Amino acid sequence: MIYFSRREFIRTAGAGAATLALSHHVHGADHPPVKRPNIILIMADDVSAREFSCYGHSQHKTPVLDRLAESGVRFRTAWCTPICSPTRAEILTGRYGFRTGWYHNDLKSGKLADNNETFAALLKKSGYRTAICGKWQLPGTYEEHGFDEHCLWLGMRNALKEGWTFDGPIEKKGMSLPGRLARYWHPAIARNGKLLPTTAKDYGPDIFVDFLLDFAARNRKGPFLAYYPMCLPHASWDFEAGRSGYLPVPELDKDGKRTGRKVKGSLRSNVEYIDALLGRIVKGLEDLKLRDNTVILFTADNGTAGYGKNRPVMEHGPRVPLVVNGPGIVKARGAVDSLVDFSDILPTLCSLAGAALPAGYVVDGRSFEPILRDRPAREREWIFSYLADRRFLRDKRWLLDGNGRFYDCGNRRNEKGYKDVTQSKDAEVVAARERFAKILEKLPPPPEELVRKARKKGKRLLPPERR
């Protein structure tokens, strides 16, 4: 297990963090203070690594992410969880579900801020201005979790408890979540406690990027942290046809400006619009002269719907993109084989920012800042994921999926060509399985009683198995 006390965290975070922690102090004429980087963490919604061209997709064109990957670091194997709520808990806290109590959308408990630290709170305490935009989807307020500002989609009708009147699309009876408010066209969005007036021509993802760049401009003296959990490309009901599916996106001209027309909704058009938004963020930072001191991390919360989301098969659900780029901070290493999972995000952000963990706070992750800087690092030997009472474990060669199947992946990292060795008696396979079993002893599933109670309430924790 990777249990880190504060002392262990500081020791393993790398020499860079120790230097960055001194950023507010004058070191003398020969040693000017180190400027801490701004950080933008972007997490797309329901999209696998395989959907992006830098991860091998032949039709989806994502040139901005390709350039960020080539001039930064692209992790070939990065894991979240196969469904959104436990992923959001893990990325914020640096902790697995057996610590947070968040195992599945239908198997979770409490507000994260009650018993956990968040990366936003830790960076805020160390002097960062913090903001969140996009999709909240957590109990409690943004302030409780460490964010100074917000620009967020109001996901359900109970978000109108302030007495606001919303005149945009609302899911009707018979739809997936009656009462849910529009997130894309004519969206329901609150900015710093006030409902934004929107029309049918307004597109939510554009509004979120407008806010992000405005926040960066207002805090250009830094340092700042912006967390952008996207709505895209998650399918939705809030569009003209009234059916579930991928919504149309704005059409852009060759200069990236909206034409006033729409592109038909599809996974491809949504993924490519994500890339266009990344391009807007990069250009906006360049215009503000902030690009050279800003680290951008791009990832996703789970695999693509219908392919990996909420499925225990191989690593279809947990494997997502992770690209990190920051001129002068992150080395241009391209694709790397280092293993990472979302418990590593919090210690990495703290390491980049020079923000120390409170004494005694235990995280399950390890900072991958040394990998970003191409410095010697004690890398992870394995990564972990979970989906309700199912557990996944992987090292660079072997994979245990949520169905209990065991695979020899060789040196492959693209979810293809893995050899099922579940029934193998080969000594090498047996030894690997025994090693995995010992690791899992310290990574417990949810208590059986909690799972029984959830199912008794009619919760469908997993869909019927499909292989």
CA torsion sign for 179, 184, 187, 189 is: positive
pLDDT of residue 135: 93
User: By three-state DSSP, how is residue 261 classified?
Assistant: strand
Return d(Cα 30, Cα 349) in angstroms, integer: 28
At residue 139 the predicted structure's pLDDT band, cuts being 50, 70 and 90, is confident
186-218: per-residue pLDDT in tens? Answer: 999 999 989 999 999 999 999 999 999 999 999
Return d(Cα 451, Cα 193) in angstroms, integer: 36
In percent, how much of the chain has pLDDT > 90? 78
258-285: per-residue pLDDT in tens? Answer: 999 999 999 999 999 999 999 999 999 9
Question: What's the token pair of residue 388?
Answer: 């309700």
Question: What's the token pair of residue 176?
Answer: 């997936």
Q: How far apart are the first and last CA of the chain?
A: 30
Mean pLDDT (whole number) for 93-110: 95
Return d(Cα 448, Cα 438) in angstroms, integer: 20
| Whether CATH 3.20.20.70 fits 6-27+36-380 | no
Return d(Cα 263, Cα 247) in angstroms, integer: 9
Question: What's the token pair of residue 199?
Answer: 């029309």
50-61: per-residue pLDDT in tens? Answer: 999 999 999 999
Return d(Cα 182, Cα 166) in angstroms, integer: 10
Nearest to 128 by CA among 352, 456, 447: 352
pLDDT of residue 243: 57
Contact 51, 285 (CB under 8 A): no
Mean pLDDT (whole number) for 127-139: 93
Dmax of the chain from CA atoms?
69
Indicate the pTM of the whole model: 0.92
Q: How far is CA 94 from CA 8, 89, 97, 357, 386, in A?
A: 15, 8, 10, 11, 14
pLDDT at 335 over 60: yes
Token pair 């007036």 in the structure block, residue: 197
At residue 465 the predicted structure's pLDDT band, cuts being 50, 70 and 90, is low
pLDDT of residue 176: 65
At residue 4 the predicted structure's pLDDT band, cuts being 50, 70 and 90, is very low
